[in-house]
Amino acid sequence: MILPVSDKTFLPMIAEWRAYEADVAASPQKKMYAISVSHGGSEEVCVFEGFVRADSRTLRLAERIAKLLLWAYGGNILGVYGSDEVFEDLRRRYMGGERSFDSGFMSGVYEAPFEVRKLSTLPHRRAASFRVGGNLKGCRIGFDAGGSDRKVSAVVDGEVVYSEEVLWHPKTESDPSYHFREIVTALRTAASKMPRVDSVGVSSAGVYVDNKAMVASLFLKVDRSRYGAFVRDIYLNAAKEIGAPVTVANDGDVTALAGSMALGEGRVLGIAMGTSEAAGYINAEGGLNGWLSEFAFAPVDLQSGAPADEWSGDYGVGSKYFSQDAVIRLMERGGYRFRGETPAAKLAEAQRLLEEGDPLAATVFSDIGVYLGHALPLYARIYDAAHILLLGRVMSGRGGELILKRCREVLAADYPEMTAEVSVFEGERVRVGQAIAAASL
């Protein structure tokens, strides 16, 4: 198995999962179990089925699988069938234990208490699908709220007539009036380039329900106890400033939509590697499933000393492996001391070193490709993807080339059953594609 040069203790979750399945398949003590994820108000139930046996290895892996399902699908009801040991362990962890961040997050998103339920019958999967985007008629604004820059485009009958990118610092600002002012400024700038505004489409990191920001990392420093209602309705109120209706979607879903529109196909998984890791999925019918796809909190590394995410406190999750934080962490682990102060500046510094032929930088970006090569088969257990599109600042330039090259080598060597086409979605194709996709919401 190929491992990162700078992280030899990396333990791919998918490798451990496959090894466990092979061991349990030959065990006479195995029994069937299932984990389901759902939420009130939805008919969809997402289910994983497998076999387990009663030992500590089972509980460790089942907890990671449950967390992966929870952050991929989203829900406030975690169901367990067939294993009292797994049920009791998950209930302890999520109901006041070390997974309290996860249960609290889901309670906030779905505005209902989090539950871990013991199921007496095997749950059956029920899927949902709804169409988004694709409406390009008229004068439309596409706004993309990134963690380090905000992008806005004016789109007239599918043609981008104006586009701009402006640096901003939403994750370090505690006053939400800063965010509101920046958003309104961008919308007004785009509106000034068209005779009218028929609609606004917003692509933004976070979880959105009815165009309201339920949870969003852009407002990480904002005191939600004081400004909760203001933050929740921020895009609705910003659109009112220019007198247009608005549709808000997770940036990962908009990325996947942009890729699907460019390819003219469904079954597209988009993964954005920038300030964190975002994802979105367009299914075979060309629609969304309504899933969270918050890969930043989805586990990928099972090593005991894996780095911890600052927000959730959990270890081995995507935000530390597929973002600018991953570049910074591995560069510093190799002995480099950055001159830049912000994460974005440090990423740019590492990319500049790579262009200059620095061997440490080359190793770092190649190792992120190894991480990715082991993560994509894990994601493939949940997403039926024919196309996997990679984008974001980490994937730009020479670094993105090294990541993609090494990722493909890992897939070919360790996971030859993977058939999805993996490619980088970058440059003008991203800027215009993302703008049109957001505007078409």
The pLDDT value recorded for residue 421 is 93
Distance, CA of 313 to CA of 292 (rounded, Å): 19
Q: What's 208's domain CATH number?
A: 3.30.420.40
**Within a domain: 38:** yes
Number of H helices, E strands in the chain: 13, 15
- The backbone torsions φ and ψ at residue 216, rounded to the nearest 5 degrees and listed phi first, read -150, 130
Distance, CA of 145 to CA of 159 (rounded, Å): 21
In the chain, the percentage of residues whose pLDDT exceeds 70 is 97
Distance, CA of 138 to CA of 129 (rounded, Å): 26
Distance, CA of 247 to CA of 236 (rounded, Å): 9
pTM of the model: 0.88
**Within a domain: 169:** yes
**Within a domain: 4:** no
Total domains in the fold of the chain: 3
**Within a domain: 61:** yes
Closest of 42, 44, 24 to residue 33, by C-alpha? 24
Closest of 277, 306, 302 to residue 292, by C-alpha? 277
- 187 with 220, same domain? yes
Question: Which range of residues forms the domain containing residue 81?
Answer: 13-119
**Within a domain: 375:** yes
pLDDT, tens digit, 9 for 90 and up, residues 169-224: 998 899 999 999 999 999 999 999 999 999 999 988 788 888 999 888 789 899 98
The single-letter code of the amino acid at 413 is A
pLDDT, tens digit, 9 for 90 and up, residues 135-147: 889 999 999 888 7
- 244 with 109, same domain? no
- 113 with 198, same domain? no
- 67 with 80, same domain? yes
The pLDDT value recorded for residue 432 is 54
- 3-state helix, strand, coil split of the chain in percent (to 5) is 45, 20, 35
- 115 with 147, same domain? no
- 284 with 219, same domain? no
- 94 with 52, same domain? yes
Distance, CA of 118 to CA of 89 (rounded, Å): 12
Please report, for residues 20, 131, 139, 395, the alpha-carbon distance to residue 237 in angstroms, rounded to integers and kept in the order given.
50, 25, 20, 33
- 154 with 106, same domain? no
- 112 with 244, same domain? no
- CA 131, 134, 137, 140 torsion: positive or negative? positive
**Within a domain: 131:** no
Q: Which letter does DSSP use for residue 243 in this model?
A: T
Q: Are 95 and 404 in contact (CB under 8 A)?
A: no
Beta strands in 253-410 (DSSP E): 268-273, 277-282, 387-391
- 322 with 405, same domain? yes
**Within a domain: 421:** yes
Q: pLDDT tens per residue, the chain (441 residues)?
A: 999 999 989 999 999 999 999 999 888 888 999 999 998 766 667 888 888 887 888 999 999 999 999 999 999 999 999 999 999 999 999 999 999 999 999 998 888 999 999 999 988 887 777 777 778 899 999 998 887 789 899 999 989 999 998 989 998 899 999 999 999 999 999 999 999 999 999 988 788 888 999 888 789 899 988 999 999 999 999 999 999 999 998 888 888 888 888 888 999 999 989 888 989 999 998 888 888 899 999 999 999 889 999 889 999 999 999 999 999 999 999 999 999 888 989 999 999 999 999 999 999 999 999 999 999 999 999 999 999 999 888 999 999 999 999 999 999 999 999 999 999 876 555 555 667 788 888
Closest of 20, 23, 1 to residue 10, by C-alpha? 1
**Within a domain: 319:** yes
The single-letter code of the amino acid at 232 is R
Please report, for residues 85, 270, 340, the alpha-carbon distance to residue 211 in angstroms, rounded to integers and kept in the order given.
40, 21, 36
- 321 with 408, same domain? yes
- 234 with 375, same domain? no
